[in-house]
Amino acid sequence: MDTRFVYESGVYTLVDCPNCGATVTTAVKCWTVAPAKQVEDGVIPEFRVGLFKCPECQSTFRSRVNSTSQSVETRNVKILAEKVKDIHDGLTQTLRFLREKISALETERQSLLMEIEQLKKVAESRANTLEIEIKQLREDIKALKELLGVNEKINWSL
Ligand SMILES: [Zn+2]
C-alpha cells in the first residue's frame, strides 16, 4: 500500500500495552497514514499510527491511534488558536483604542495651543493699549508740571 507519513509530536492518547496491559498515555511519535490508492468501493479513510513505549515493561510498539485522541489534539490546537486569536484581538483593540486616544489628545493639544495663541494675542493687545495709555498719562503729567512750574514731586498731603 502506498502511504504518506505525516510526523507529529506531542500527541496525547490512551492505548494499552500489548505486552503487559499497562495504559500508555503519550506517543513517542505519531503520524497520519493516508492511503493514496483508492479501493473499489470508496476512499480508505486516513488513520493515525503512534509509536509507544510502555513505562512499565519498556517495550515499544505501534498502535493505531483512535479518533478521539486526534480530536483531543485538534481541540488543543483549536483552544490554542483561539487563545492566540484572543490575544491578537486584544492587541488590535488596544492598538485601535490607543490610536483613537492619541488622535483625540492631539486634537485637544492643537485646540489648546490655538486658545493659548489667541489669549497671547489678546494679552499683547492689552499690553500695547496700556503702554499707549501710560505714555499718554506721562505726557499729561509732564504737561501739567510744566504748566504749574514744578519739577519736584508735589506734596499731595497739602
Ligand atoms: Zn508494558
**Can you give the pLDDT at residue 16?**
85
Written as one string, the DSSP assignment of the chain is ----EEEE-S-EEEEE-TTT--EEEEEEEEEEE--SSPBTTBPPPPEEEEEEE-TTT--EEEEEEPHHHHHHHHHHHHHHHHHHHHHHHHHHHHHHHHHHHHHHHHHHHHHHHHHHHHHHHHHHHHHHHHHHHHHHHHHHHHHHHHHHT--SPP-TT-
Per residue in 99-152, pLDDT tens? 999 999 999 999 999 999 999 999 999 999 999 999 999 999 999 989 988 766
19 CA distance to ligand 1 middle (Å):
5
- pLDDT tens readout for residues 57-106: 999 998 887 655 456 667 778 888 889 999 999 999 999 999 999 999 99
- Cα(30) to centroid of ligand 1, in Å? 18
Give distance in angstroms: CA of 27 to centre of ligand 1: 14
Q: How far is the CA of 35 from the centre of ligand 1 (A)?
A: 30
Residue 15 Cα, ligand 1 centroid: separation in angstroms?
11
* Inter-residue contact 49 to 62 (CB < 8 Å): yes
What pLDDT score does 137 carry?
96
User: Is the full-model pTM beyond 0.85?
Assistant: no
Q: What structural domains does the chain harbor? A: 5-65 (2.30.30)
Rounded to the nearest angstrom, the distance between the alpha carbon of 60 and the centre of ligand 1 is 8
Please state, rounded to an integer, the average pLDDT across all residues of the chain.
81
Rounded to the nearest angstrom, the distance between the alpha carbon of 104 and the centre of ligand 1 is 67
